[in-house]
Amino acid sequence: MNKSTKIEKQVARWDLYAKITPTFFLVASAISLTYGITSFDTLFNIGMVLFAFTAVTWWFWTIITIKYIIKTMSSATTDLLEVKQDLKGIREEIRIDSN
Amino acid sequence: MTPTRTILLNIISGLSLAICIIFGVTYISFKNANVFQDIKIEITNNPITNNNDIDFMMMGYKPYECASTRVYGVAYAEAGHSHVLDKFTKQYTRNTRPRENVPNQWSMSVPEDMIVGGEYRVSMTGEFVCNHWIFQVPKVQTYGNILLIVEPLDNNQ
């Protein structure tokens, strides 16, 4: 599996995580509060830990992904410049030949 | 997944996140708030003579619904010893309205070992259970440095 496909899959996983987690946490909290399983204080602390964990993971994932994208773009730009240079040379040769 | 379902899921998750954030922020602000704001407690009949009771007066503003579970005072003498004031001869008004300035008054008897007289600094402490939305938090608030002067009983007789 190449890196781009990996990133695409990771984005899909983040999307799913962003959709599921808040709703799941809210429903689980409502149930545990209703049945007196946990106090609001405990739920608040769990929420804060989850939030902090998500924020830190997201931050590092974003940095790594941006680094990869910039590297890919830079490589693509270099390749395009080389192609442009080659085309210039070919054009020059055609011009000389036609004369 | 159809676009409609995606939009619906996005709305539900967005609303859930917003609710989590609103509840979290409200809870932390409620938990950290004092029971009384703009509070002032004074002893209105200083110096205490003839074995009279100590009359307290309080002005304060309660931002949340709080019910007191225990109220007591501690009188600290300059010599270092202290006396607990917990015998109410006149009760304070309980469960005063929140978000309104409500004056409150109460009286406490002078402990027997304080009749020798002297100058004291009283700390009044209240233990409360506060409610806001679905939250319930126990809180303690102390108001200190209330001047209390007790005249020796022998001088008044």
Distance CA B127, CA B66 (A): 10
From B20, B31, B136, residue closest to A22, measured CB to CB: B20
User: Does domain B34-156 sit in CATH 2.60.40?
Assistant: yes
User: pLDDT tens across A68-92, in order?
Assistant: 999 999 999 999 999 999 999 999 8
- Yes or no, beta carbons of B27 and A25 under 8 Å apart: no
Distance CA B142, CA B97 (A): 20
How many angstroms away from the CA of A94 is the closest CA of chain B? 53
User: pLDDT tens across A22-64, in order?
Assistant: 999 999 999 999 998 999 999 999 999 999 999 999 999 999 9
User: pLDDT tens across A43-54, in order?
Assistant: 999 999 999 999
From A22, A40, A48, residue closest to B16, measured CB to CB: A22
* Residue B24 in contact with partner chain A when CB distance is under 8 A: yes
Q: Where are the domains of chain B?
A: 1-32, 34-156
Regarding an ipTM greater than 0.85, the answer is no
Residues B88, B73 contacting (CB under 8 angstroms): no
Q: Where are the domains of chain A?
A: 3-98
Residues B111, B88 contacting (CB under 8 angstroms): no
Q: What average pLDDT does the structure give for chain A?
A: 92
Q: How many CA atoms lie within 13 A of A15 on its CB side?
A: 10
More confident: A74 or A97: A74
Q: Which two tokens stand for residue A97?
A: 């030949």
Which of A25, A44, A49, A58 to substitute to test the interface with B, most B CBs within 10 Å? Answer: A44
- Yes or no, beta carbons of B13 and A20 under 8 Å apart: yes
Instruction: Read off the pTM.
Output: 0.77
